[in-house]
Amino acid sequence: MESTYKTRLSKEQLDQIITHHLHANIQEYEEMVDGWANHAYKLKLLDGREVVLKIAPSAATRLMRCEQNLMTAEVEALRLVAKLQNVPVPQVLAYDDSLHLAPAQFFIMEYMSGSPYNQVKTQFTVKEQEEIEQQLGCYNQRINEIKGKRFGYFSGEDRQRKTWKEAFLMLMDDMLVDGQEAEVDIGIEYNELRDLIEQKSDALDDVTESVLISWDLWDGNVLVQDKKITAIIDFERSLWGDPLMEHYFSHFNYTPGFLKGYGREVVTENEQKRRSLYDLYFDLALRIECDYRQYDNQEHINWTIHNLKDGIERFRKMK
């Protein structure tokens, strides 16, 4: 899906970047079209290596508040997860935020084999899907073992808070302010929704330990080959927060395989309240980002409108 966020590079720019950072030359390259915000290129080098170059939107792009410093967050998160050694993530080979070789910050990482799970999921039996999702649960749980000192956005102490309640309400307020500034119709008065959120926010006080969460670990960010997960990618949305905010605990997934692998379910009343807040946040993000990125897929836009309507109704019913 096309969006106005994507920064494209010429062959000459790619050549300069690879020569400068990897002391190599490009044999061939191709654009990777699956990303919705950052843009990526798969590069085959003359020395046989295959790498991926990922570039952020340009500095002139109007970004949502939750999209600030995404590339810095992804690089830092990838490096942290790589230290675990038993979670398959690409190695970061170079990171450049100087803007000397490109109009936006970028990084280069090793190419990881495999197909996005969302594209091949239907090729697997129910049992095979459960086994893959059990692997994902194990990996996701390992990622959540990385401890933080504060809560909130991954990059920048000014965007972090001492408590999870403070941090999550900051995240939610940023989302709602973005929606208001872009005049996005969310099907409810913004202040009415703020009141509903406040009524359920006390459940957030239960979270006292900050951990690294990917938040965006959906099927498209899981690479699979021979019925095994070969890579977990796209850590740009990483946060310091509550592990129950991870995508596979959401209303979109929550599968038996993942829960078995992770070793935890959403059980208590307060956990259900927290999960309802996280579902609402994600449903809002899906809708509001359409206006900022100016997506060209009307079918997707219509889906986000109906999904948010259903999401708000579910949130209202949560006691």
**Separation between Cα atoms, residue 271 and residue 111, nearest integer Å:** 37
Longest Cα pair distance anywhere in the chain, in angstroms?
60
In this structure, CATH architecture of domain 11-110: 2-Layer Sandwich (3.30)
The string of DSSP letters for 4-54 reads TTPPP--HHHHHHHHHHHHS--EEEEEEE---SSSEEEEEEETTS-EEEEE
Number of H helices, E strands in the chain: 9, 12
Pick from 54, 89, 78, 85: nearest CA to 212:
78
Distances (CA, A) of 69 to 73, 101, 142, 153, 235: 6, 19, 24, 9, 12
Predicted pLDDT at 38: 80
Q: Is 115-317 assigned to CATH 3.90.1200.10?
A: yes
Helix (H, G, I), strand (E, B) or coil at 314: helix
Q: Does 4 score more than 60 pLDDT?
A: no
Identity at 129, one-letter amino acid code: Q
Pick from 50, 41, 49: nearest CA to 14:
41
Q: Does 228 score more than 70 pLDDT?
A: yes
Mean pLDDT of the region 205-226? 97
Pick from 70, 87, 77, 76: nearest CA to 35:
70
pTM above 0.75, yes or no: yes
Pick from 152, 167, 168, 129: nearest CA to 256:
129
Exposed/middle/buried for residue 258 (C-beta within 10 Å: 0-12, 13-18, 19+) = buried
CA angle 141, 151, 276 (to 5 degrees): 65
What tens digit of pLDDT does each residue of 53-110 get? 999 987 778 899 999 888 999 999 999 999 999 999 999 999 999 999 999 999 999 9
What tens digit of pLDDT does each residue of 26-41 get? 999 999 977 666 889 9
Mean pLDDT of the region 141-166? 95
Predicted pLDDT at 61: 81
Predicted pLDDT at 5: 66
Predicted pLDDT at 26: 97
Domain extent listing, the chain = 11-110, 115-317
- Residues 6 or more apart in contact with residue 211 via CB below 8 angstroms: 144, 145, 146, 147, 148, 240, 241, 242, 243
Predicted pLDDT at 3: 53
Predicted pLDDT at 7: 87
Q: Are 147 and 211 in contact (CB under 8 A)?
A: yes
